[in-house]
């Protein structure tokens, strides 16, 4: 690195220094070397860093520094500021002078950053090697990968894949509480959404008078979503149209309605059960008990 004496101060002069040709180069330039002529031609109309000039002129950076030094002394080149090692060859670019950092501090900072980065990489490598020997860590990583796949399948509305993947994740039994709760939540939501989709298909089939196929889908819906009374009611109606035994479905609904104290709905469920089993004395008594609560 060199220093050029300016007005009352010394300016930094290194590979990142931005230089430009002076506006008046009409003097006799016969005394210039061939490389100095190349440098001046590259600097016409567009300031460049010395590193960029060296690359454009196919010169060694140290030689380019010396040549530019002589051109500055001859008054043919000006120092514009300090910038990055390379600048785009764009005439509209505005060159901003960066804060001047003492050269020794600049080098020390670069060395410190490089050393810290190298140490981080080595620490990560040692940690990965150490963890790779632990089978529990391998299982945890596998569980996390499966968890991410399940989340992705859920967001893509692949309900069956999401539910099955999360069930597999839960079988590992080694994830944290938050991940376990999220997996359970996705299983419930995926099954509910899958049941909803199947129920829509079943209702479309029932509209087309294909009651037996609609009832087959409705039975799958009951298996998937046994705790959702709204879906169960719709499935029970489809099963009724197909003359299937809906006693199990209405019994389950009755228990849910009683638990939530929805007495009108519970009375309706008991009525449906009595239609299927008119001689059930216990259900008859329950029906009579529910009537005053409505």
pLDDT tens profile 42-70: 887 778 888 888 888 888 888 888 888 88
pLDDT the model gives residue 12? 52
CATH number of 192-293: 1.25.40
| pLDDT, tens digit (0-9, with 9 covering 90-100), for 64-99 | 888 888 888 888 888 877 665 444 444 444 444 445
pLDDT score of 284 more than 70 = yes
CA angle 55/58/59 to nearest 5° reads 90
Where exactly are the structural domains of the chain? 2-82, 192-293
The DSSP symbol for 179 reads H
Spatial neighbors of 11 by CB under 8 A, at least 6 apart, are 3, 4, 79
The DSSP symbol for 209 reads T
| 241 or 273: which leads in pLDDT | 273
Alpha carbon distance 158, 164 (integer Å): 10
CA atoms within 13 A on the CB side of 129: 6
Residue 81's region, left for phi above 0, alpha for psi from -120 to 50, else beta, is left
Contact between residue 42 and residue 99 where contact means Cβ atoms under 8 Å apart: no
pLDDT score of 112 more than 60 = yes
Average pLDDT over residues 152-160: 84
Alpha carbon distance 271, 292 (integer Å): 14
Tell the CATH topology of 2-82. Answer: Arc Repressor Mutant, subunit A (1.10.10)
- Number of C-beta neighbours around residue 67 at 10 A: 24
| pLDDT, tens digit (0-9, with 9 covering 90-100), for 169-207 | 888 776 778 888 888 888 888 877 877 787 788 778 777
pLDDT score of 100 more than 70 = no
Give the bridge partners for 20, in sequence order. 78
Q: How confident is the model at residue 222 (pLDDT cuts 50, 70, 90)?
A: confident
Task: Reduce the DSSP state of residue 21 to 3 states and report it.
Answer: strand
């Amino acid at each position: 690195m060199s220093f050029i004496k300016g007005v009352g101060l010394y300016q930094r002069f290194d590979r990142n220094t931005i230089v430009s040709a002076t506006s008046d180069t009409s003097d006799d330039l016969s005394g210039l070397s061939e490389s100095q002529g190349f440098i001046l031609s590259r600097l016409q109309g567009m300031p460049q860093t010395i590193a960029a000039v060296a690359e454009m002129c196919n010169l060694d950076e140290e030689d380019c520094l010396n040549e530019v030094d002589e051109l500055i002394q001859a008054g043919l080149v000006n120092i514009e500021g300090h910038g990055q090692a390379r600048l785009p060859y764009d005439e509209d670019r505005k060159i901003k002078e960066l804060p001047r950092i003492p050269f020794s501090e600049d080098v020390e900072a670069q060395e410190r950053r490089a050393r810290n980065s190298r140490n981080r990489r080595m620490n990560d490598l040692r940690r990965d090697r150490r963890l790779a020997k632990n089978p529990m860590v391998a299982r945890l990583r596998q569980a996390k990968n499966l968890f991410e796949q399940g989340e992705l399948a859920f967001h893509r509305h692949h309900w069956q894949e999401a539910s099955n993947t999360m069930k597999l994740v839960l079988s590992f039994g080694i994830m944290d509480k938050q991940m376990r709760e999220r997996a359970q939540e996705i299983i419930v939501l995926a099954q509910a959404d899958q049941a909803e989709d199947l129920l829509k298909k079943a209702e479309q089939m029932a509209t087309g008078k294909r009651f037996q196929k609609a009832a087959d889908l409705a039975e799958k819906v009951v298996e998937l979503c046994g705790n959702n009374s709204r879906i169960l009611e719709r499935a029970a109606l489809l099963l009724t149209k197909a003359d299937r035994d809906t006693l199990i479905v209405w019994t389950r609904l009755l228990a849910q309605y009683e638990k939530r104290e929805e007495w009108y709905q519970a009375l309706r469920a008991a009525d449906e059960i009595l239609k299927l089993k008119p001689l059930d004395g216990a259900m008859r008594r329950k029906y009579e008990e529910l009537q005053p609560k409505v």
